[in-house]
Amino acid sequence: MGVMLECLNGVIEAEEVPESWTKSRTKMIKKIGKPTWRDFRSIALTNVSYKIFMTHIREQIERHLRINNLVRENQIGFTEGGRIEFNHFMLQFAVEGVLKGKIVREEHMLKYPLTKYAWENRRRRLYPLTKVNRGLVVVALDYSKAYDSVNR
């Protein structure tokens, strides 16, 4: 572990990541037995030392947010065990509550940027949903292409 620690500290001191960290291989994994092209999901294979380094960085960010009481109750990003699927559950809960005529309290308000994964679900009619006359407005922002046109 000492050698790995030395290498990772070297990355921090050099303020430059190794070129191998900037590359990944994308593989397609089938979801079902006899898949069509729609039944595959992509997975990016990246350098193991990069994963270790970024896990450490993520843990430090989570720790900082937790110690300084900066984590909101309904926050998913930078939280231990937080997964995008939790947001899907919260959205379904809020929509069903409004459609059944139940009151949706402010803490049930959903505000989060959609990842590419969540945006793909929109095609399956999960997003966006606006039902103003029933008291529910869901705003979905897709940040997946937000930085494609930034001048470098």
Q: Which of 74, 80, 72 is nearest to 55 (CA)?
A: 80
Q: For tokens 């350098």, name the residue.
A: 47
Dihedral angle over CA of 80, 58, 7, 4, nearest 10: 0
Give the tens place of pLDDT for each residue, 17-52. 889 998 989 998 887 777 777 778 888 899 998 888
| pTM, full prediction | 0.48
Give the tens place of pLDDT for each residue, 104-141. 555 445 444 333 334 334 444 344 444 344 456 666 65
Task: Outline where DSSP puts E strands in the chain.
Answer: 25-30, 40-45, 113-114, 130-131, 136-137, 141-142
